[in-house]
Amino acid sequence: MKVKAGIVGGAGYAGGEMIRLLLNHPSVQLEFVQSRSQAGKRVDSIHADLAGDTHLVFTPSFHEQTDVLFLCMSHGESRKLLTDEVIPSSTRIIDLGNDFRSGDEVRGRAFVYGLPELQREKIRKAHNIANPGCFATAIQLGLLPVAKAGILGEVHVTAVTGSTGAGQKLQDSTHFTWRANNISAYKTLTHQHLGEIRRTLQQLQHGYNKEVNFVPWRGDFTRGIFATAVIETQLSLEEANMLFKDYYREHPFTHVVDHMVDIKQVVNTNKCLIFLEKIGHKLAIHTTLDNLVKGASGQAVQNMNLMMGLDEKAGLHLKSSVY
Amino acid sequence: MKVKAGIVGGAGYAGGEMIRLLLNHPSVQLEFVQSRSQAGKRVDSIHADLAGDTHLVFTPSFHEQTDVLFLCMSHGESRKLLTDEVIPSSTRIIDLGNDFRSGDEVRGRAFVYGLPELQREKIRKAHNIANPGCFATAIQLGLLPVAKAGILGEVHVTAVTGSTGAGQKLQDSTHFTWRANNISAYKTLTHQHLGEIRRTLQQLQHGYNKEVNFVPWRGDFTRGIFATAVIETQLSLEEANMLFKDYYREHPFTHVVDHMVDIKQVVNTNKCLIFLEKIGHKLAIHTTLDNLVKGASGQAVQNMNLMMGLDEKAGLHLKSSVY
Amino acid sequence: MKVKAGIVGGAGYAGGEMIRLLLNHPSVQLEFVQSRSQAGKRVDSIHADLAGDTHLVFTPSFHEQTDVLFLCMSHGESRKLLTDEVIPSSTRIIDLGNDFRSGDEVRGRAFVYGLPELQREKIRKAHNIANPGCFATAIQLGLLPVAKAGILGEVHVTAVTGSTGAGQKLQDSTHFTWRANNISAYKTLTHQHLGEIRRTLQQLQHGYNKEVNFVPWRGDFTRGIFATAVIETQLSLEEANMLFKDYYREHPFTHVVDHMVDIKQVVNTNKCLIFLEKIGHKLAIHTTLDNLVKGASGQAVQNMNLMMGLDEKAGLHLKSSVY
Amino acid sequence: MKVKAGIVGGAGYAGGEMIRLLLNHPSVQLEFVQSRSQAGKRVDSIHADLAGDTHLVFTPSFHEQTDVLFLCMSHGESRKLLTDEVIPSSTRIIDLGNDFRSGDEVRGRAFVYGLPELQREKIRKAHNIANPGCFATAIQLGLLPVAKAGILGEVHVTAVTGSTGAGQKLQDSTHFTWRANNISAYKTLTHQHLGEIRRTLQQLQHGYNKEVNFVPWRGDFTRGIFATAVIETQLSLEEANMLFKDYYREHPFTHVVDHMVDIKQVVNTNKCLIFLEKIGHKLAIHTTLDNLVKGASGQAVQNMNLMMGLDEKAGLHLKSSVY
């Protein structure tokens, strides 16, 4: 008996990745892909890489009965949709936007923050998931073990993201002529993902009130996030590695490795790779993931797997495009 | 009962892609990965994207018993290996190099040219496969239907390839500082793939003796081939589309589409997409594929599937990294 | 006594390059830069790389008295402007659009096609210049000597251009996420530059009526054009090189070299490099130039230099950004 | 009377940029370009972008009489050369390596650290210059005004560099297939430029003993450095801007601007652009420059201009390749 899934907002990047992942998922039947802008068109006319893979047509409606509904909309639109429309209460929701990451409810639906490495058991029992942000996932996975140990101090982290993080809409910062061979900063120390990061850190380390200084950069590539966090710690490198490896031992997608990591090691996979270095009393934590997979649609599948009692890795044995 | 597979030459690009594909193949057990240069090292220490996916260690030897052996070596080395070493005759060979594409035998092993869209039935009955070259695959797939119809004249084709086509060895043409933002030509009208292209065309269209003017370009990207062939024909666009679509109707990876194609539609997949345009009496044939997948390791898996009686698509439901 | 110059349409790419070139030109005084969309703003607020180089502010009007007016507008707008507005007849016009490349007149102004390697003496005596298109320049420079010799037959040429060729306007084909690591074709065999190319070839080789099969590609870089033309000829390689080197001997920006060329050798310069290969009875002609400099604003300066009696290279001793 | 200049080590990137800059310098005569590896070959056979610009041939020797000698060699080789060989004492030396940045002497030659924004007057009177490192220049220019004010505390700075920073030698980290679309870290908190950075900060702010936490990243572009430093300060944004603008008012290449900066604004120029943001009690300082120009050869020309009494900007009116 396959899980019946639907996608709301299937024409964008996150929606497209949801389609790609669900079409190949061995335990899922993709019932429909809704899109307001593309309703009536073949899915493979918009996502041309899917030629030969599907005969689905974008639907205007999302009211068919499904077990799980993935919401892939602009920020703010999930709340509007769940407020305005009646979705059967039996339908589980996985929201890829940032509307419910602070734990809000809507119409009696309570959302669980869907970071499996933080709270897998809670996700297993959840009915609605607020899927984490991409930067938030990368940064948190670099800090969870330290906060869990209750020894996290001030954090300085710079992280760079690919252009897909900015979405499909044409804008100056995604013009090829500007972005190619370029690096720039934006939302310095004020990025909206700081909210969910702080909530997680405080959940793990009570009373955590140090600053998380996060400098986001725009990178001249399409996929991936690379982050380096620097913190002060008395842990030796061995102790730090043990702390991290213990923490992630049972988590199938997050790996602490013994060599420098880079973005291409994880592109097109649901993995997060972590590498630690100790210099003086400072610990440098390098993390990397694919913002559209572990940072969005792949993590959404992982959350669905957990909620629906499937193998956590089902449908996520992805071939990296490492070269 | 899984197919037992081994890889000879697993440290390079084609070998790495073989590992990635075979590890996820539902009907294959990857028995060993041989590498002379990396013997004794963990596979995921060289292919770092495989962290968490395998505990395999590169072996110095390739003499374990397997059903299929994939040879991923430099050109010339396959012939040397099959001449010098005794491989059990029951072991099927798929050679990714260019040593046996002209139909040579070695030690009683006859090789079948492994282009499924040309001769799938012959491949199904084959014991040894010479896997086609990447450019050769892209160009042939753009010409097969016309040659089959016996109406192919002179061909002008320009095709650009990513840096992985040049292999892992450091060389001037793969230095980042040179290749980034650059385009250049090489082996103009003399590329070694012209041999296999001509043999195929003559096989389909007896007495074909027109020129195939092939201009290869180096592109500033890592994966993929894009080719535009221009030929003269009296076929209308409708007739040409019908000819191509009929030809490829039963082939699951090659699709004739109704919009311009681009490389990213096929990157990290085993697909070849084709788009036709008619201008005056000229037919333009645009084809694109991933040089490492349909142009190498993916096609090798496709050939293995056919030889071993598996579903042609087994292990090849790959998520594109289209963005 | 400096030449007084003005720019109409200074906010786009070609306009920006005009500003950069004219600000550093030793014999030019840049009087004003007009822009409808940016009037009133500082030039370096739009062209941020000019910080510290100029205090100019975009003007709404272009009616100040100048010796030369550079028109950097969308196609069709130059004709409209010269029809609707009264420009003093003493002001020379250099139009970077394609409105007057076919030799039209407007309000008594006759335009000379501004390809110095074709007709430098005519340009020296001209009062108004229609600056050639970027692809047109690259392709013509590869064919001029053969047409001059009266021996040009059918031409097959593929040429790839950077994203700046598509202008500053946001559009799907210049979205970074799409264009990065991608190649595609457009306007196959129908590109609008074929008009000016054919006119030139017929001017040099009377009665030329063979086809120029031009396949334009979109490249995943910002600047530059690389073209490979293939023609049939009885000339030996030595004869061909002699023909080309003789033709360009007195032209300071176009060089026939003895090794393969690539785009980065000319980026940010006014050069065109040409490399010839002979294979069988075919001659391959590789040409490369910067679409914004020799293919647009740099050639406009070259034309101004010729018209105003300056050194042809004045203001065009540009440092390439080859790496 | 032109300055006679020679280059030792002209075949690499820094050497190539020296040639490009000196050939166009209005007050310099480039007497010779030495290269051990390329001696006897035409300069434009190695630096192919110089076709038509020079007839120079690489010399094996550097003993011709010159006013200034630019040393563009691997680290350690300058010291060896100046120890082993007799250079006329009248010849001024500008060393682009890191051998003398700590103020060492060799054979009676005392070297002045060549950061004009730090000590222009001292450079004017110098006879030998140790040209700063590229990262060191970018980071120092972001910190000089604060250290001068004596209020600099701990610094957290992440900076990313293009592939040219790694030089011309083929190595894994400059293989196109690896570096394209990738980001990675190296020498975390231990980069060798920290030495010269600390010396400068201590020179300006006596007793400065806080940490400069510098995380260097490898970027997937060829030219440029982008750095974001975060420091704690009680200065308001207005006060910080005033401090920086006052400091750089008389420096022609370093500009404090009022909008976010990016690498392409400075590529192929000798500029450094700086942008400040204040968030809470933290000041973020974004700086960007071209590692080969302001970070190497351009700054060397600037230093030569100062030493030889020329206009500081002579030969450095460079057209950016901003698009």
Terminal CA-CA length for chain A: 37
Task: Report the percent of chain D where pLDDT is more than 90.
Answer: 97
Task: Give the number of other CB atoms < 10 A from CB of residue A163.
Answer: 27
- Give yes or no for a contact between A289 and A295, defined as CB atoms under 8 angstroms apart: yes
Terminal CA-CA length for chain B: 37
3-class SS at A108? Answer: coil
C neighbours by CB contacts (3+ pairs under 8 Å): A, B, D
| CB within 8 Å: C180 and A13 | no
Q: What residues of C are in contact with residue B228 (Cβ under 8 Å)?
A: 158, 185, 188, 215, 217
- The residues of D assigned a catalytic role are 134
Of all residues in chain B, the one with the smallest CA distance to D176 is B176
Q: pLDDT tens, C100-133? A: 999 889 999 999 999 999 999 999 999 999 999 9
Q: Is C268 left (phi over 0), alpha (psi -120 to 50) or beta?
A: left
3-class SS at D68? Answer: strand
Query: Does C134 participate in catalysis according to the annotation?
Result: yes
pLDDT at D62 over 90: no
| CB within 8 Å: C175 and A172 | no
pLDDT band at residue C310 using 50, 70 and 90 as cut-offs? very high
Mean pLDDT of chain A: 97
- Angle at which helices A298-307 and A13-23 cross, to 10°: 50
CA distance B20 to B23: 5
Nearest to D185 among A190, A213, A286 (CB): A286
* Average pLDDT value for residue range A187-213: 98
Contacting residues for B125 by C-beta, under 8 A, at least 6 apart: none
pLDDT at C91 over 90: yes
- Give yes or no for a contact between A27 and A2, defined as CB atoms under 8 angstroms apart: yes
Which of C196, C210, C212, C195 is CA-nearest to residue C150? C210
CA distance D92 to B295: 57
- For B190, B198, C282, D146, the CA distances from B211, given in Å and listed in that order, are 12, 9, 10, 70
A neighbours by CB contacts (3+ pairs under 8 Å): B, C, D
Looking at residue A262, what DSSP letter applies? Answer: B
Domains and their CATH numbers in chain A: 3-110 (3.40.50.720), 134-292 (3.30.360.10)
Which of A118, A163, A91 is CA-nearest to residue A272? A118
Nearest to D319 among C222, C266, C268 (CB): C268
Task: Provide the shortest C-alpha distance from residue D322 to chain C (in Å).
Answer: 7
Q: pLDDT tens, A267-294? A: 999 999 999 999 999 999 999 999 999 9
| CB within 8 Å: D179 and B176 | yes
Q: What residues of C are in contact with residue B189 (Cβ under 8 Å)?
A: 230, 277, 279-280, 282, 284
Query: Which one of the listed residues B3, B18, B134, B300 is annotated catalytic?
Result: B134
Q: Answer whether A208 touches C (CB < 8 Å).
A: no
Q: Which amino acid is at C25?
A: H
Q: What residues of A are in contact with residue D261 (Cβ under 8 Å)?
A: 184
Nearest to D273 among C16, C51, C271 (CB): C51
Pair of tokens at residue A84? 């305005």
Q: Which has the higher per-residue pLDDT, D86 or A124?
A: A124
| CB within 8 Å: D51 and C21 | no
Q: pLDDT tens, A63-94? A: 789 999 999 999 999 999 999 999 999 999 99
Spans of chain B, pLDDT less than 70:
none
pLDDT at A39 over 90: yes
The residue count for chain A? 323
Chains B, D: CB contacts under 8 A, how many?
Answer: 52
The predicted model scores a pTM of 0.98
Which DSSP helix (H) or strand (E) runs through C245? helix C237-248
Q: Which amino acid is at D117?
A: E
Q: pLDDT tens, D176-198? A: 999 999 999 999 999 999 999 99
- Give yes or no for a contact between D233 and D143, defined as CB atoms under 8 angstroms apart: no
| CB within 8 Å: B170 and D168 | no
Pair of tokens at residue B199? 């043999």
CA distance B297 to B312: 14
Task: Provide the shortest C-alpha distance from residue A24 to chain C (in Å).
Answer: 23
Q: Is D92 left (phi over 0), alpha (psi -120 to 50) or beta?
A: beta
| CB within 8 Å: B222 and C177 | no
Q: pLDDT tens, D256-286? A: 999 999 999 999 999 999 999 999 999 999 9
Q: Answer whether A232 touches D (CB < 8 Å).
A: no
List b or e across D34-61, with b for residues whose CB sees 16 or more CB atoms inside 10 angstroms: bbeebeeeebbebbbbbbbbbebbbbee
Looking at residue B297, what DSSP letter applies? Answer: I
pLDDT band at residue D63 using 50, 70 and 90 as cut-offs? confident
Q: pLDDT tens, B60-107? A: 998 789 999 999 999 999 999 999 999 999 999 999 999 999 988 999
- Give yes or no for a contact between D303 and D129, defined as CB atoms under 8 angstroms apart: yes
Give the helix ranges, DSSP H, for A275-318: 298-307
Handedness of CA D231, D237, D239, D244 (dihedral sign): positive
- For B308, D156, D211, D235, D245, the CA distances from D152, given in Å and listed in that order, are 70, 12, 10, 11, 17
**Residue found by looking up tokens 């037992």 in the block:** B4
Longest Cα–Cα distance in chain B: 60
Q: Which amino acid is at D215?
A: V
CA distance A8 to C128: 57
Q: Provide the chain A residues 76-95 that lie in CB contact (below 8 A) with chain C.
A: none
Q: Answer whether D321 touches A (CB < 8 Å).
A: no
| CB within 8 Å: D215 and A230 | yes
Q: Answer whether A176 touches C (CB < 8 Å).
A: yes
Q: Answer whether C49 touches A (CB < 8 Å).
A: no
Tell me what pLDDT residue D218 has. 98
The residue count for chain B? 323
Q: Answer whether A171 touches C (CB < 8 Å).
A: yes
Q: Which amino acid is at C49?
A: D
**Residue found by looking up tokens 């052996």 in the block:** B69
Contacting residues for A307 by C-beta, under 8 A, at least 6 apart: A68, A92, A94, A123, A124, A126, A127, A129
Nearest to A170 among C164, C170, C220 (CB): C170
| CB within 8 Å: B185 and C286 | yes
Tell me what pLDDT residue C141 has. 98
B neighbours by CB contacts (3+ pairs under 8 Å): A, C, D
CA distance A85 to D62: 80
Mutation target for A interface from B46, B49, B286: give the one with most A CBs within 10 A. B49
Of all residues in chain D, the one with the smallest CA distance to C289 is D49
- Give yes or no for a contact between B259 and B288, defined as CB atoms under 8 angstroms apart: no
Tell me what pLDDT residue A256 has. 98
